[in-house]
Amino acid sequence: MGIDKTLKALSDKNRREILKMLKNGPMTAGEIGAYFNMSSATVSYHISTLLDADLIYMNKEKNFRIYSLNTSVFEELMTYIMNFMEDKNE
């Protein structure tokens, strides 16, 4: 896990909102973009940042790119954070 990339991706409220949306199931970029008042290029940038941090997956289906949540990165992040708690208790 690239913790720096993960934390950078999570630092933006729009990207966190995209992750919340994907929690309900896979979506296309168009479906994600319809929720926001921003250009498609900006939505694409946010999606690209999430992909780069491995927080989401992308699958191609015909002419569509379908994005879904990668929960394993969240599990790794929680383990990383819990290591601080374990050190504190020693």
Q: Report pLDDT digits (tens) over 58-89.
A: 999 999 999 999 998 888 888 888 888 765 55
DSSP sequence for 52-82: HTTSEEEEEETTEEEEEE-HHHHHHHHHHHH
pTM: 0.86
State the CATH number of the domain containing residue 58.
Answer: 1.10.10.10
Residue in the block written with tokens 């319809």: 34
- Least confident among 5-9, 26-30, 43-47, 85-89: 85-89
Residue 11's φ and ψ, nearest 5 degrees, are -75, -15
Residue 62's region, left for phi above 0, alpha for psi from -120 to 50, else beta, is left
Question: To 5 degrees, how large is the angle CA 61–CA 7–CA 81?
Answer: 115
Instruction: Count structural domains, the chain.
Output: 1
- Taking residue 32's Cβ as centre, other Cβ atoms within 10 Å add up to 20
Which residues constitute the domain of residue 53?
Answer: 3-89
